[in-house]
Structure 1
Amino acid sequence: MTASAPVPAPPSSAVPASEVPLSGRRPRWPLRVLLGGVGLLPALIAVAQLGRIHPDEVYQLLEPAWFRAHGYGVLAWEWHAGLRNWAMPGLAAWLLRLADVLGLTHPVAYRTLIAVPQVALHGWMLWATYRYAERRAGRSGGLFALFAVGLYGPVLVFAGRTLGESLSTAFLVVALEALDRTERPVRAGLVGGLALGLAVVARYGSAVVVLAALVWLAAAWRWRVLAFACLGGLLVALGLGALDWATWGKPFHSFFAYVDFNVLSGQAARQFGASPPGFYLWPFLSGLPLWLWAVLPVGLSSLRRRLALPLPLFCAGAYLFAITTTAHKEERFLYPALVLLTLAAAPALAALVLGRESARSRWGWGAVALATTLLAGHFFPPVDPRGDQFRAIVKATRGEGARGLLIVNEGLWGAGGFFYVGKNIPWSTCDWPHDANFQAAMRDRRFNRAVTFEGRALAELQAAGFQVVGQVGRETVLARD
């Protein structure tokens, strides 16, 4: 099979006016409202729930940003070894400084402010999804694909989170839609290249998708788009090199350190564990939208007929191969592949649903498809976000009375850091009453607030003078004054 460019839309005289592509035009206001509404959902979920689906959500963006903005915080080992760049935490740090200027001192308030650019990025991703499907299934198909991807369970879970996978995947969708266009090759290449570069800045593991996209363009003989994509990517790379030079003292220090740790030296597998290739089978199958199996025969028939692979499908396949053959594996690494596969299949779903003869059948099939697209979020990612713990931490540390906090039944990297404590007070974590941190906190009168998960060490805390002052889900909030 070879790579393929999108098939140009038929002349407007052959297509209903409502189905004429919007390529090259800004979305009309009803579509903008729709993009804003669907695009806002992941951020609303993340801010209302708080919690984390992985410690990196806090300790690779929020906590470094807090450290940069306030001069104190918990820095994970990567920020001492130089395996990360300061682009995203730096932007978040400026937003935290803006929050201070605006008087936004509550953790939920400044977390909401940080979510604003994420909402804009997610809206851009959904606009790209609409345009990608519109070229293949018309306006109605584009709108249906927007819902199919925008309401996809893993997207609702991930897209509002401050994870590298979340940010990078949005840039990847924007990039691949741009590179898929046949009109305005210079603009398409530049936008696609810039977005690919930003996807790598957000997460170095996305470099695999960048290489796959460039191979696809070369195989499709789209040399002009390829050249300007490389130019756009080069501009981002120069900015990254300058940033690393300013922060780490050497151009591209974080990128080379990342590649050495995760790819060349094998340290990632030794430090965090290695898994067999079958590790991803169940999370991959459970994370796919169920409707994908319904459109699979149509997609396979199209591939056999055209002997071509759509760009998102080609990139998803290359990325899946890369993470499967890499020793260290985590479920969250699947997220970019799941989204790209959903993007590639969404136009076929739209055609299948909108091709029903009766309106009743179309509405019925559409409702079932969107229900199954939501359902995938129940299975992926398979983690407990512990949002009640983060909300309990916020509740325990509000007001001037909180001088120190103990979090029971949680390790350091599962807690919310100074970002959610919101002030420069001592805090620590422990698992059991006999732990050294627990014993030290009981003796230190500065520790006058405690949060315990599922009531662990509740009796010991009360014996040390703590009293229950609140309950947040499975978390108990205690205080002693």
Structure 2
Amino acid sequence: MTAPAPLSVLPPSAAPVSEAPPTAARRRWSHVLLLGLVGVLPAVGAVVQLGRIHPDEVYQLLEPAWFRAHGYGVLAWEWRAGLRNWALPGAAAWLLRLADVLGLSHPVAYRGLLAIPQAMLHGWMLWAVYRFAERRAGTVGALLSALAVGLYGPVIVFAGRTLGESFSTAFLVVALEALDRTERPVRAGLVGGLMLGLAVVARYGSAVVVLAALLWLVVERRWRVLAFSCLAGLGVALGLGALDWATWGKPFHSFFAYVDFNVLSGQAARQFGASPPGFYLWPFFSGLPLWVWATMPLGLRSLHQRRALLLPLFCAVAYLLAITATAHKEERFLYPGLVLLVMAAAPTLAAFVLSRERVLLRNAVGALALVATVVTGRFFPPVDLRGDQFRGIVAATRDDGVSGLLIVNEGLWGAGGYFYIGKNIPWMTCDWPRDANFKGAMRDRRFNRVVTFEGRALAELQAAGFRVVQRVGRETVLARD
């Protein structure tokens, strides 16, 4: 098959000059190293900062993994009803066992160990963006495109987090780049199908993107790629069925339970609330860099000239329509769609920047675009990560004398769980001194450590014999003998 015409706004006179192979190879390796540095930023940030975007970051991966590895932990209701599969928590549990063998007992240390494979996956995602853009905007344009995705504010925030959206989005980007290739269709189909399957295993909501990608292959008449994608995806599906059979007693139990709860029965909307379609408007517009809108006419013109659908754009639109039509909405659900849109638009941005004749202007426009890319993290996601609380919990529970922990001004699902406490001691949460948990902890001498957010109940805690030992941001750590 012939390669597709490049999606570019470069005039013929500005087309990149071919380089000698050694020069091109050196440049490519320098790009790989730079992307590697950018690729580890989300993981490093997540480990250093701790905290959580959403309780699922802790209670849908870290805490069930801790339970599997150590035999105790807090299991959310999904893990009793069977709405989740054990693939990612099971893999994380083995890494936690490895941490025990290596003597990594500090929560930051074993959280860092868990971050290593995720950072590698994220690096693969950026390389996929590079490959996708290289076919459309050349080597330098590919680097700019990969930086536009790697430095994208929501990616910096999400990509190092242990959320289903974080893992699934990386798998989707790798999959769509593979399916976009025209060379070696067998390999493209196998890699694409495998990654699509893993994206669904990581997060069942990504099935919408999988269906859109398969439909795109049909429209483009990429029959061999389609066939081998389905073959690889079937292999992943059989593995998921076997895993559910072993853990829940029935093949595909978690998938069907998830679909019933979130789609068929409407229980998700009743239990967690329903929102109108306009719910996503502000996070959508504030979450995309300004250059996406500025380059949209150029991208649409190029698409019209090719007379072909751009795969990431097609999948992003399908996914965004699906989550808009779903009653229960959360801002984090936007993340995969936003990343796919930025992936689709980045080559057009790169081609536009490289088409500027003056070097100074090219550099200025490129730098301005990357700044706009980073700034979007200020608006999305608009949540308090509470990293100081998690760091406070870690600080409060490090010494051997701790026998019980009370967390004040936080509910159960906002706390860090046994994963960040790191030992099998009783712990509770409460909001006010009048709460039963607070009164019980004051009477129970096992509870000799407290972490309180924004100084709530300090007077009552000190009256019960606690003394302030440390302040971690907005958190106060107290202890009593």
TM category (shorter chain) comes to over 0.9
How do residues 302-313 of structure 1 correspond to structure 2 at under 5 angstroms? 302-313=302-313
Provide closer, same or farther for how the CA distance between residues 19 and 287 of structure 1 changes in structure 2, counting only shifts above 3 A.
farther
Consecutive unaligned residues of structure 2, counting only runs of 5 or more, are 9-14
> Is the partner of 1:469 in helix, strand or coil?
strand
1:345 aligns with 2:345: yes
Q: State the superposition RMSD in angstroms.
A: 1.9
> Is the partner of 1:162 in helix, strand or coil?
coil
* CA distance, structure 1, for counterparts of residue 219 and residue 458 of structure 2: 64
In the alignment, which residue of structure 1 is the partner of 2:274? Answer: 274
In the alignment, which residue of structure 2 is the partner of 1:81? Answer: 81
Q: TM-score, normalised by structure 2?
A: 0.96
How do residues 265-414 of structure 1 correspond to structure 2 at under 5 angstroms? 265-414=265-414
Q: Shift of the alpha carbon at 1:33?
A: 1.5
Provide closer, same or farther for how the CA distance between residues 9 and 309 of structure 1 changes in structure 2, counting only shifts above 3 A.
closer
Runs of 4 or more above 6 Å deviation: none
* CA distance, structure 1, for counterparts of residue 427 and residue 145 of structure 2: 46
Provide closer, same or farther for how the CA distance between residues 27 and 117 of structure 1 changes in structure 2, counting only shifts above 3 A.
farther
Q: Greater shift after overlay, 305-314 or 51-60?
A: 305-314
Residues 212 and 318, structure 2, Cα contact 8 Å, conserved in 1? yes
In the alignment, which residue of structure 2 is the partner of 1:150? Answer: 150
In the alignment, which residue of structure 1 is the partner of 2:118? Answer: 118
Paired amino acid for 2:200: V
Describe the superposition over 1:284-327 as per-residue Cα deviations: whole angstroms up to 9, x where unpaired. Answer: 00000111111011112223333332000000000001000000
Q: Shift of the alpha carbon at 1:27?
A: 9.6
* CA distance, structure 2, for counterparts of residue 9 and residue 454 of structure 1: 52
> Is the partner of 1:478 in helix, strand or coil?
strand
Provide closer, same or farther for how the CA distance between residues 26 and 202 of structure 1 changes in structure 2, counting only shifts above 3 A.
farther
* CA distance, structure 2, for counterparts of residue 18 and residue 463 of structure 1: 75
> Is the partner of 1:308 in helix, strand or coil?
coil
Provide closer, same or farther for how the CA distance between residues 82 and 291 of structure 1 changes in structure 2, counting only shifts above 3 A.
same
Paired amino acid for 1:54: H
Residues 121 and 170, structure 1, Cα contact 8 Å, conserved in 2? yes
* CA distance, structure 1, for counterparts of residue 4 and residue 119 of structure 2: 28
* CA distance, structure 2, for counterparts of residue 65 and residue 27 of structure 1: 41
Describe the superposition over 1:153-183 as per-residue Cα deviations: whole angstroms up to 9, x where unpaired. Answer: 0000000000000000000000000000000
Q: Shift of the alpha carbon at 1:8?
A: 6.6
Q: Shift of the alpha carbon at 1:31?
A: 2.9
Describe the superposition over 1:346-400 as per-residue Cα deviations: whole angstroms up to 9, x where unpaired. Answer: 0000011111111100110011000000000000001000000000000000010
* CA distance, structure 2, for counterparts of residue 302 and residue 444 of structure 1: 69
In the alignment, which residue of structure 1 is the partner of 2:12? Answer: none
Paired amino acid for 2:5: V
> Is the partner of 1:315 in helix, strand or coil?
helix
Residues 5 and 220, structure 1, Cα contact 8 Å, conserved in 2? no
Q: Greater shift after overlay, 287-296 or 469-478?
A: 287-296
* CA distance, structure 1, for counterparts of residue 273 and residue 459 of structure 2: 37
* CA distance, structure 2, for counterparts of residue 297 and residue 145 of structure 1: 18
* CA distance, structure 2, for counterparts of residue 255 and residue 106 of structure 1: 35
In the alignment, which residue of structure 1 is the partner of 2:102? Answer: 102
Q: Shift of the alpha carbon at 1:15?
A: 5.7
In the alignment, which residue of structure 1 is the partner of 2:92? Answer: 92
How do residues 252-271 of structure 1 correspond to structure 2 at under 5 angstroms? 252-271=252-271
Q: Shift of the alpha carbon at 1:5?
A: 8.2
Describe the superposition over 1:229-277 as per-residue Cα deviations: whole angstroms up to 9, x where unpaired. Answer: 0011011111111111111111111000000100011000000000000
* CA distance, structure 1, for counterparts of residue 114 and residue 411 of structure 2: 25
> Is the partner of 2:477 in helix, strand or coil?
strand
Paired amino acid for 2:229: A
Q: Shift of the alpha carbon at 1:36?
A: 1.6
In the alignment, which residue of structure 2 is the partner of 1:464? Answer: 464
In the alignment, which residue of structure 2 is the partner of 1:17? Answer: 18
Residues 291 and 372, structure 2, Cα contact 8 Å, conserved in 1? yes
Paired amino acid for 1:145: S
Paired amino acid for 1:350: A
Identity %: 78
Q: TM-score, normalised by structure 1?
A: 0.96
In the alignment, which residue of structure 2 is the partner of 1:7? Answer: 5
Residues 19 and 138, structure 1, Cα contact 8 Å, conserved in 2? no
Q: Shift of the alpha carbon at 1:32?
A: 2.9
* CA distance, structure 1, for counterparts of residue 19 and residue 450 of structure 2: 59
Residues 194 and 232, structure 1, Cα contact 8 Å, conserved in 2? yes
Residues 213 and 315, structure 2, Cα contact 8 Å, conserved in 1? yes
In the alignment, which residue of structure 2 is the partner of 1:61? Answer: 61
Provide closer, same or farther for how the CA distance between residues 390 and 152 of structure 1 changes in structure 2, counting only shifts above 3 A.
same
Aligned residues: 473
* CA distance, structure 1, for counterparts of residue 26 and residue 409 of structure 2: 51
Residues 18 and 139, structure 1, Cα contact 8 Å, conserved in 2? no
Residues 53 and 383, structure 1, Cα contact 8 Å, conserved in 2? yes
* CA distance, structure 2, for counterparts of residue 18 and residue 95 of structure 1: 44
In the alignment, which residue of structure 2 is the partner of 1:474? Answer: 474
Consecutive unaligned residues of structure 1, counting only runs of 5 or more, are none
Residues 144 and 350, structure 2, Cα contact 8 Å, conserved in 1? yes
Residues 7 and 347, structure 2, Cα contact 8 Å, conserved in 1? no
Residues 7 and 348, structure 2, Cα contact 8 Å, conserved in 1? no
